[in-house]
Chains A and B, each alone.
Chain A
Amino acid sequence: MNNDLSQALQAEVAEALTHKQTLAIIGGNSKRFLQPANADKTIHLADHKGIIDYQPSELYITARAGTPLDEIEALLAQHNQILGSEPPHFSHCSNKATLGGAIACGFSGSRRPFSGSLRDHVLGVKILNGQGQILSFGGQVMKNVAGFDVSRLMVGARGTLGAVLEITLKVIPKPEVETTLRFDCLLQYAPQRMADLARMSLPLSAMAWLEGAVFIRLQGTAQVVRNAQLKISGDEILNSPQFWLGLREHTHPFFHSKQPLWRLSVPPATPLTMPENEVFVDWCGGLHWWHTDKLAAEVNNMANQAEGYVYLFRDIQPVTGPQPPKALLPLHQQLKKAFDPYGVFNPGIMGVSS
């Protein structure tokens, strides 16, 4: 499963530059709910794959962009390790999420408030920029302050600054056991309840709210988790891993709704008033998944008032995804020019072009 296409991909970019063509980057095509770039040609990263280096005792893994996420997770599991941000796959049928796609989208799962976001775990990257140059940034070590942090800049840039060829990620030990407790709680009181729980020195790794209850996941050694359970009340739910997987992958029945799905990122303690049956709250209150037919202006208004931001995450038609704030758009354009001066990659995505 080892396949290095760096040279061929570089040649594709060189050709695009010669013919003044634009390229849309596609990995596993799992995030098809996001609009692809409207480009002259497609450059495929899925076959550029393979795990290059994995050192369990060093807590890092290096893999090519096209490596399926599930392959990486399976290898880590053999060594009792996990990806610290639990990035969602959104894989379906043969469209398997790749590492490169995860990096480009920059989504993080329920562990985000406790062990950091996907970008927090990025240690280094190799990229192919818009001039067809292959560049390496960062490395395998956590403490590294030489040069600008280009590695983390690539996370969530959705391929507009270049194609990410290789990624080195920090990995974390897999907790021995997990259990999830359920507490009855109205949506309006959920932020307070979660903040109180977060203060209690519990081995927390996720907190969510759904249908009149707060759900908290405890992870650690058996004794530590048992001890934490004794400290707080709450009903243990039956299938903890399945609950959190359903939230991460949007396979939970909540997400079966045909209404548009909005993604609201707000300061975690913000009490939001929305119908309780329309929302699934993750990230200790910091992330709201909201199925609603409300108009964009209304949803935006709510996010602005909460000093957060919102975008349409999934709809019948593919969506544009998050856009940079207007005030920062000029800086985005300048950075785009710095990496991709001829505007080869993913034109128009995130509203940037060269």
Chain B
Amino acid sequence: MASSKTTRDRLITHLKKILPKESLLHETEAMQPFECDGLSAYRQLPALVCLPDTVEHIQAIMRICHELQVPVVPRGAGTGLSGGALPNSDGVLLVLSKLNHILDIDTQNFCARIEPGVRNLALSDAARPLGLYYAPDPSSQFACTIGGNVAENSGGVHCLKYGLTVHNVLGLKIVTPEGELLTLGGKTLDSPGYDLLALLCGSEGLLGIVVEITVKLLPCPEFAQVILAVFDDVAKAGLAVSNIISAGIIPAGLEMMDQVVIQAVEGFVHANFPKAARAILLCEMDGATLEVTEQIQRVEKIMFDSGAIEVRTAKDEAERALFWKSRKSAFTALGRLSPDYYCMDGTIPRRSLPEVLTRIAELSREFNLTVANVFHAGDGNLHPLILYDVNRENELEKVEQLGKRILDLCVSVGGTITGEHGVGIEKLDGMCMQFKPLELTQFLTIKTAFDPHKLLNPGKALPTLHRCAEFGGMHVHKGQLSFPELERY
């Protein structure tokens, strides 16, 4: 059995033969930094940690783990917010951060071939001098790896216009649980057979180890401009979101903050928001200069027509950065307001925004807990933050109850329990809320098609049918995220 000491010893003996010393960690102290990902409330030491730096090593590790039937949990930078990279006590934690080379930036085919440990922002930084960039931009983009982005199908502020990771991946090389290397897609715009790329994106490490990625790069837009609109009523801001989209405009980003967030942020960025402000919309347009200028004028008018009490258009790049700072500093600002917060991640159809925000406000009163709303309004991806104090008796329990009610609400209006953070271990019971047993069974058979012995990231993303009671969340104590330097939004 994998749990027995002898299996671990055999594993170490085998791995020592193929891996350089520094690529294998098995002392408790050395493994400590890997005991959790961005969801730090859950911690677990793995049996051992492997840090391979070649695909051949990964294949060899997988072959050994397959032979000894040892679970493998892949991990990128460990910035994930749903516990997807939480180690398995009997398993190998396969850390892919050493595979961090950009193999090829192809300016003619508008794509790049990279290793999975390449950081999201590092790719755009490398491509920008060539006039190109990588569009998906999760808030953790400074630290998160693109391999992790594939596993989580990450989004970001700009996915309203440019899509999620799945829309920007052209090819993958994966290693199967048996250690076989497979190539899916490439630099072509389609590939024959089943759309395995779509299946791999967002599969949370359950179907294969991603060892190489070909991503689409876009020409850098000529110009970007942002509008900040202030509303005295959340519902009016929600209406403005619908009106912009209905007018045939797809902004590069469309973000909303409610009153709780505005007040927290004001103390931070001193943007002089009006006292009556109950909601703020940030709307960014990018593209050819004339196109952006035209759209800005139209959006300004739509904002006023929808009831905005003030509309500001950034005069220059510095002001554009300031507007964004108000949005990007929201989580940090809220962290100062309250000892703890719990961040949720549901998506709802845009038309339900006013209804859901009203209902969340009612629930907030019912539970006597403050809920702050700061989110990607353009695609209906909500991040309600429940503010609480873990030291108050029974408060955590209350928070989790409220969180569950909010996710219930998202599902009931036709939305989903997770828009971009993934299921991991955090939302296993949410999966039971969203899917019926037949769908969950179908997911399990897909898993079996790729991984018959269930060695890849077991216990994550898919709940077993008889176990649907667990509930957790991204709990943040005293504003302390496990990556405090990253602005989360």
Contacts and interface: CB of A to CB of B under 8 A. Distances in A.
Interface of A: 55-59, 80-81, 106, 108, 112-113, 116-117, 119-120, 129, 133-137, 139-150, 152-153, 155-157, 161, 172-174, 191-192, 195, 198-199, 201-203, 220-221, 223-224, 227-228, 265-269, 283, 286-287, 307-309, 311, 322-325, 327-328, 331-332, 334-335, 337-339, 350
Given A57-B245, A133-B438, A141 B198 contact: no
Interface of B: 106-111, 131, 152-153, 155, 159-160, 163-164, 166-167, 182-184, 186-196, 198-199, 201-203, 207, 219, 221-222, 242-243, 245-246, 248-250, 287-291, 294, 347-351, 376, 379-381, 414-423, 427, 430-431, 434-436, 438-439, 442-443, 445-450, 461-462
14 contacts: A137-B439, A141-B381, A143-B376, A147-B462, A201-B221, A201-B222, A223-B294, A267-B106, A268-B189, A269-B109, A286-B189, A323-B192, A325-B192, A338-B448
B194 A265 contact: no
Contact of A142 (B159, B242, B462): B159
Contacts of A332: 193-194
Contacts of B207: 148
Given A223-B294, A331-B450, A140 B414 contact: yes
Given A153-B194, A265-B188, A267-B188, A145 B419 contact: yes
A198 B110 contact: yes
A11 to B, nearest CB: 17
B445 A338 contact: yes
Contacts of A350: 193
Contacts of A337: 445, 449
Contacts of A146: 416-418, 423, 427, 430-431, 434-435
Contacts of B421: 145
B470 to A, nearest CB: 15
A136 B189 contact: no
A268 B351 contact: no
B126 to A, nearest CB: 17
A120 to B, nearest CB: 5
B190 A331 contact: no
A108 B245 CA distance: 24
Nearest to B248: A173
B443 A201 contact: no
A267 B160 CA distance: 26
Contact of B442 (A81, A150, A265, A323): A150
A112 B189 contact: yes
Contacts of B380: 141, 143
B414 A139 contact: yes
Contacts of A335: 194, 446, 449
Contacts of A113: 189
A149 B288 contact: no
A265 B191 contact: yes
A135 B445 CA distance: 14
Contacts of A137: 439
A324 B416 contact: no
Nearest to A119: B195
B222 to A, nearest CB: 4
The 3 closest A-B pairs by CB, nearest first: A324-B193, A173-B248, A152-B198
A82 B131 CA distance: 30
B182 A149 contact: no
A207 B93 CA distance: 46
Contact of B431 (A108, A119, A147, A195): A147
Given A120-B167, A191-B108, A224-B288, A287 B438 contact: no
Contacts of A129: 442
A306 B253 CA distance: 37
B248 A174 contact: yes
Nearest to A268: B109
A224 B418 CA distance: 38
Given A141-B419, A331-B449, A80 B351 contact: no
Contacts of B445: 337-339
Contact of A55 (B108, B248, B351, B381): B351
B439 A147 contact: yes
Contacts of B379: 141-143
A335 B198 CA distance: 14
A220 to B, nearest CB: 6
Contacts of B187: 267, 307
B195 A147 contact: no
Given A139-B416, A145-B418, A146-B434, A323 B189 contact: no
A146 B243 CA distance: 28
Nearest to B222: A201
Given A57-B350, A148-B443, 5 more contacts: A142-B163, A173-B250, A268-B108, A308-B186, A339-B445
A129 B183 CA distance: 27
A221 B164 CA distance: 26
A144 B347 contact: yes
A201 B288 CA distance: 5
A81 B447 CA distance: 37
A308 B152 CA distance: 28
A203 B439 contact: no
Contacts of A119: 195, 198
B379 to A, nearest CB: 5
B154 to A, nearest CB: 8
A191 B443 CA distance: 42
A339 B347 contact: no
Given A173-B248, A269-B109, A148 B203 contact: yes
A268 B201 CA distance: 23
Contacts of B438: 133-135
Nearest to B190: A265
Contact of B449 (A143, A202, A308, A334): A334
A117 B194 contact: no
B193 to A, nearest CB: 3
A143 B294 contact: no
Given A141-B347, A201-B287, A147 B435 contact: yes
A331 B182 contact: yes
Contacts of B351: 55, 57-58
Contacts of A81: 248
A106 B189 CA distance: 12
A328 B196 contact: yes
Given A141-B347, A143-B381, A173-B250, A201 B219 contact: yes
A106 B183 CA distance: 20
Nearest to A311: B192
A199 B132 CA distance: 9
Contact of A143 (B111, B245, B420, B431): B420
